[in-house]
Amino acid sequence: MILRTSKDKRLRAKIEQLELKKLKHKLLFTSVLNDNNLNKKQKALCLSLLNEQKIENASKTKLVNRCLLTHKSRIMYKAFKVNRMKLKDMLQMGILPGYKKAVW
In angstroms, rounded to a whole number, what is the distance separating the alpha carbons of residues 102 and 60?
36
Length of the chain: 104
What is the overall mean pLDDT for the chain? 78
Query: Per the confidence metrics, is the pTM higher than 0.95?
Result: no
Query: What pLDDT does residue 54 have?
Result: 67
**C-alpha distance across the termini of the chain, in Å:** 40
Q: Alpha-carbon distance 14 to 22, whole Å? A: 12
Confidence of residue 68 (pLDDT cuts 50, 70, 90): confident
Yes or no: domain 65-104 corresponds to CATH 2.120.10.60: no
The single-letter code of the amino acid at 25 is H
* pLDDT the model gives residue 31: 80
Q: Where are the domains of the chain?
A: 1-62, 65-104
Q: What is the per-residue pLDDT across 41-60, written as a single tens digit (0 to 9) for each?
A: 777 777 777 776 666 776 77
